[in-house]
Homo-oligomer: A and B are copies of this chain.
Amino acid sequence: MKLKLIKYTPDPERAVAMSARLCYSAIGAEELEKNMTDAQVGNLLEKLRSMGHLSTFEHVSFTFAIEGVSRVLTHQLVRHRIASYSQQSQRYVAEHGFEYIVPPSVAANAEAGAKYQELMNKIQQTYDELVALGVHQEDARYVLGNATETKIVVTMNARSLLHFFEKRCCQRAQWEIRNLANAMLDEVKAVAPRLFAQAGPTCISGGYCTEGAMTCGRLAGIKAQK
């Protein structure tokens, strides 16, 4: 997987704090940006987060370019609707020489790994043959596997990201999208640490777990530590 945070709203922490400040003070928009120390920004963000006043977090957005992920992942990813996507088209881009994802559990089993690779080769061969037989690539792609690598550009605002991290950083999330979510969290924490201070699965962000009997037990560990 290759992930790059390619664009984001400049000075995102201050942008959120400014928007919140407008709601609760008689101050004008002109002055919003000034006269706010960095510590004040941090305190306000902490307060907004603890009270669940997250609408102000929507004013800042983050755009990622993602490569080397499977269509298993993107089919799950695009289910998050408060977001924008541009994905490489299998309709317009030919898939001669496609790359593919190998799940760790397959890679760890020599026999499974060999069968997996053999099938991928066979898929490539059939795709090429179909195209050679005159089948348009938009139909030939029906033989491509879920494993086929794809590229996608994703934009989410900070509130939508917090929700995404709650769902997808959870130990119970599917491994590939969990890896992506964790990598995205690292990226945004690097540029807006206070917006994403407690971002993560609900055991971290909210101190609760909705997985019932399927829980990974992390919450119990967090509570024990306290």
Closest to A105 in B: B139
Cβ-defined contact, B52 with A22, below 8 A = no
Residues of B close to A37: CB separation below 8 A? none
Cβ-neighbour of A10 out of B7, B25, B88, B212 (below 8 A): B7
In the docked arrangement, what's the CA distance between A105 and B155, Å?
A: 36
Cβ-defined contact, A112 with B130, below 8 A = yes
Residues of B close to A50: CB separation below 8 A? 210, 212
> Which of A144-152, A190-198, A217-225 sits within the interface?
A144-152
Residues of B close to A171: CB separation below 8 A? none
Closest to A82 in B: B81
In the complex, besides A50-B212, A116-B126, 18 extra interface pairs with C-beta distance below 8 angstroms are A2-B30, A18-B65, A29-B67, A29-B151, A29-B153, A58-B155, A71-B75, A72-B90, A75-B75, A79-B85, A90-B146, A103-B139, A105-B136, A112-B130, A115-B129, A143-B145, A144-B145, A206-B208
